[in-house]
Amino acid sequence: QQQVKQSPQSLIVQKGGISIINCAYENTAFDYFPWYQQFPGKGPALLIAIRPDVSEKKEGRFTISFNKSAKQFSLHIMDSQPGDSATYFCAASSGAGSYQLTFGKGTKLSVIP
């Protein structure tokens, strides 16, 4: 199975709060897990990515947590800001031949003042 399941579909967070988006995958061959951020009218932009040899990766206010045994990974946005309001996509790919990304359905995040 090539699916990546993402939840929630939409999320409303107060400014300064923590936004958490979860993804689960089935294909154990996946070895690269990026998150993309998309603003209306723009293409998805690579935000942060992780490989399964680490359980967590942090870049500024953005953190990926990865649970290989559960086949789950999540994006945490600390101190969420109105400028973070966008649609977030998790994705996964396998380096064993293709590098093509399989995307989750997306989470529309709204950060309210």
- Binding-site ranges for another protein (CB under 8 A): 32, 34, 36, 42-46, 49, 89, 93, 95, 98-106
Nearer to another protein by Cβ, of 37 and 80: the residue is 37
Provide, rounded to whole angstroms, the least separation between the CB of residue 88 and another protein.
12
Provide, rounded to whole angstroms, the least separation between the CB of residue 6 and another protein.
9
Report the DSSP pairing between strands 102-103 and 86-92: antiparallel
User: Closest Cα to residue 55, out of 47, 67, 63?
Assistant: 67
Count Cα atoms within 13 angstroms, Cβ side, for 30: 29
Nearer to another protein by Cβ, of 41 and 60: the residue is 41
Provide, rounded to whole angstroms, the least separation between the CB of residue 84 and another protein.
19
